[in-house]
């Protein structure tokens, strides 16, 4: 598969989300962790030959956790039931004939192992090695199950064709090296030093994961943010103030937002970043300020209330309210457009009405009747709007 195939796959997934939204079954996007990421999670990583139903003769051990025992033959329940027929987008493909299976496993106890991300009888943590090709499972259509297909090779963040066994083994080695560095970070005894070390993992410019840094955001980095709490505020605030990567700034801001009032000392750095021309994602910065609830943010939030994006303006309005702006209701009411149109779609208008409703429910209801009483799409968008009387 070449790089041009990525937009096509994304379009198929998005299209199926939209089609699935009309059904009673909610769409479900299944996880697609890389071999690098799974190397950071698995209790053991082995290769072997399938010698009997659900039985693998181990030929290579890439990693085995100290607490795990991997015998020469292991049992992986359900392995034999996993499809070996590649997904063909409506056409019947011939089954593959693997030479080896590569397994990312959890220890299920009793001499049994479970592959990572086992969902609906198929697992992301099962890769089939066929000559110079690698096959694995992923979700091609949402909603839908994991399906078998060629494993993609990604280098420097770009899709670089189909992976070979050598590519995947190299990726596992890199993942295991990063796993060792992460464990060393967690072993730092001094909480302040550990917090500074954890913060370095939050940006591609400083993370030992490099361009793969975002693969550690959940759950590793969020778990550490909860564990370290206030100790992590200062290094995250420095990252928000100085990092060149917008995604890293947004992620650090979201961690600060999760801490709420415990991270108020970071407010000046978030404010300063929001004031910068071409600031990192303003949604992330505005949401952080709303969570920090610091009155010092009121001025910069007022400056952003005239954003062309109704959704951003709604976030700004909530931020003003939560930071204590006594004029928040007046300001957001003035920002609500007079009608729905191409520049102000229903969802954006409703987001603004929701923000006003949190600040002043009566004011929101009155504004709805003044401007949108005849717009059934607006009324049907929220329960509080549907419950309003038909006339006032």
* pLDDT beneath 70, residues of the chain: 1-27
For residue 153, the model assigns a pLDDT of 97
Q: Write down the pLDDT at residue 16.
A: 39
What is the per-residue pLDDT for 19?
Answer: 32
Asked if residue 30 lies in contact with residue 146, where contact means CB atoms within 8 angstroms, the answer is yes
Q: At 56, which helix (H) or strand (E)?
A: strand 55-64
pLDDT at position 89 is 84
pTM for this model (two decimals) = 0.88
Q: Which run of H or E residues covers position 26?
A: none
- pLDDT tens sequence across 81-109: 999 999 988 787 999 999 999 999 999 98
What pLDDT sits at residue 110?
Answer: 85
Angle between helices 233-242 and 246-259 (to 10 degrees): 150
pLDDT in the model for residue 27:
52
Choose among 249, 247, 250: nearest CA to 239: 249
Of 322, 6, 244, 12, nearest to 142 (Cα)?
12
User: Would you report the helix, strand and coil content of the chain in percent, each value rounded to 5?
Assistant: 50, 15, 35
Q: If DSSP states are collapsed to H, E and C, what string results for 102-150? A: EEEEEEEECCEEEECCEECCEECCEEEEECCEEEEEEECCCCCCEEEEE
Helix (H, G, I), strand (E, B) or coil at 331: helix
């Amino acid at each position: 598969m070449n790089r041009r195939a990525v937009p096509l796959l994304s379009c198929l997934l998005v299209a199926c989300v939209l089609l699935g939204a009309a059904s009673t079954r909610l769409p479900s996007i299944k996880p697609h962790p890389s071999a690098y990421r799974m190397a950071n999670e698995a209790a053991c990583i082995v290769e072997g030959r399938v010698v009997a139903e659900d039985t693998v003769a181990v030929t290579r051990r890439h990693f085995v956790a100290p607490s795990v025992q991997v015998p020469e033959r292991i049992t992986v329940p359900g392995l034999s039931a996993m499809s070996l027929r590649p997904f063909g987008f409506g056409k019947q493909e011939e089954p593959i004939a693997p030479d080896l299976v590569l397994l990312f496993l959890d220890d299920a106890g009793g001499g049994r192992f479970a592959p990572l991300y086992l969902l609906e009888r198929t697992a992301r943590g099962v890769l089939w090695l066929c000559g110079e090709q690698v096959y694995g499972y992923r979700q091609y259509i949402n909603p839908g199950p994991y399906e078998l297909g060629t494993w993609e090779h990604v280098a420097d963040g770009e899709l670089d064709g189909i992976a070979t066994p050598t590519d995947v083994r190299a990726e596992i080695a890199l993942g295991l090296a990063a796993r060792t560095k992460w464990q060393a970070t967690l072993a730092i005894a001094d909480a302040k030093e550990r917090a500074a070390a954890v913060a370095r993992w939050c940006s591609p410019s400083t993370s030992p994961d490099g361009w793969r840094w975002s693969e550690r955001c959940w759950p590793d980095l969020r778990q550490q943010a909860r564990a370290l709490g206030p100790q992590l505020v200062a290094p995250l605030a420095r990252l928000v103030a100085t990092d060149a990567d917008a995604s890293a700034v947004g992620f650090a801001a979201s961690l600060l937002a999760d801490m709420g009032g415990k991270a108020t000392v970071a407010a000046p750095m978030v404010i300063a970043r929001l004031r910068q021309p071409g600031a990192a994602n303003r949604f992330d910065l505005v949401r952080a300020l709303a969570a920090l609830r610091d009155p010092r943010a009121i001025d910069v939030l007022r400056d952003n209330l005239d954003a062309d994006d109704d959704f951003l303006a709604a976030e700004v309005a909530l931020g003003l309210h939560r930071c204590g702006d006594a004029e928040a209701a007046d300001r957001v009411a003035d920002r609500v457009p007079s009608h729905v149109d191409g520049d102000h779609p229903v969802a954006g208008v409703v987001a603004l009405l929701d923000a006003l409703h949190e600040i002043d429910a009566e004011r929101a209801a009155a504004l709805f009747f003044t401007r949108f009483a005849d717009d059934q799409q607006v009324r049907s968008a929220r329960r509080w709007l549907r419950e309003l009387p038909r006339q006032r």
